[in-house]
């Protein structure tokens, strides 16, 4: 009887060993190590968490792991990383993770209309989890001063960089001074701007003789051309 008991115990041990599953703990530790390295250079106060891994995952045990992101993925907010076994088995596992980044961002202090030029008093600075908002949030009020809104914003709405436009330095129909520069010489003329432009943008100008030229818009009603 004792022999049968020992034999049954031995067979049970072999069966368990043959069907052992991957322990979730080393997988989680590998993901945490990856996140710690990848978030080290992020601005703001960064924290991360790793989602649960099924302890009955039925994956063969693995001795080494590679953690990576899929092409085009970003470690931002709620996302997933891929864990691939590198030794002892051949499997891949998607693991949910969450990254939080505490930082400053700008919001409209009041309702702001499209086309409005922003000045001191139009924006407020707030702090929160940046991953909960769209990308390209502005952080400092000075980034908005003198810029023109391309969209309307409600009070409290976050301000993104792509919502701003540089102020126009040339208006359509404006009389402008055309300055031409070359090697060792400079000429000037006057004309009428055929389009509005921000600083550095191309503006078309009709000269007094009817000729139309292209130049770069400059502050103060100047258009610069090069020879």
Residues 78-86, mean pLDDT to the nearest whole number:
96
Contacts of 205 (CB under 8 A, 6+ apart): 176, 178, 191, 192, 193, 194, 212, 213, 214, 215, 223
d(CA 95, CA 78): 11
Q: How far is CA 159 from CA 73, 134, 154, 156, in A?
A: 24, 10, 10, 9
Beta strand extents in 91-184 (DSSP E only) = 92-108, 123-129, 148-149, 164-165, 168-170, 175-182
Boundaries of every domain in the chain: 2-99, 102-165, 168-226
Give me the CATH code for the 168-226 domain, please.
Answer: 2.30.30.760
Looking at domain 102-165, which CATH architecture does it have?
Alpha-Beta Complex (3.90)
d(CA 53, CA 193): 65
pLDDT for 70: 85
Residues 216-220, mean pLDDT to the nearest whole number:
94
pLDDT digits (tens, 9 = 90+) for 164-180: 988 889 999 999 999 98
pLDDT digits (tens, 9 = 90+) for 130-165: 999 988 999 999 999 989 999 999 999 999 999 998
Residue 5 has pLDDT above 50, yes or no: no
């Amino acid at each position: 009887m004792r022999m049968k008991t020992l034999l049954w115990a031995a067979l049970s041990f072999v069966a368990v060993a043959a069907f052992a599953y991957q322990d979730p703990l080393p997988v989680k530790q590998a993901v945490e190590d990856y996140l710690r390295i990848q978030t080290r250079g992020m601005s703001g106060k960064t924290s991360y968490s790793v989602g649960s891994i099924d302890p009955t995952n039925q994956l063969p045990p693995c001795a080494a792991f590679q953690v990576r992101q899929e092409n085009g993925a970003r470690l931002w907010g709620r996302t997933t990383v891929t864990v691939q076994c590198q030794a002892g088995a051949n499997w891949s596992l998607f693991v949910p993770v969450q990254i939080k980044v505490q930082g400053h961002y700008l919001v409209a202090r009041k309702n702001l209309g499209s086309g409005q030029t922003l000045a001191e008093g139009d924006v407020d600075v707030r702090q929160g989890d940046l991953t909960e908002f769209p990308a390209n949030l502005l952080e400092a009020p000075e980034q908005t001063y003198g810029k023109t809104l391309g969209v309307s914003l409600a009070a409290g709405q976050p301000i993104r960089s792509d919502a701003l436009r540089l102020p126009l330095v040339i208006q359509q129909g404006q009389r402008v001074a055309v300055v031409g520069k070359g090697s060792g010489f400079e000429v000037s003329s006057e004309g009428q701007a055929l389009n509005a432009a921000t600083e550095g943008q191309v503006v078309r100008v009709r000269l007094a003789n009817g000729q139309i030229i292209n130049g770069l818009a400059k502050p103060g009603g100047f258009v610069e051309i090069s020879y």
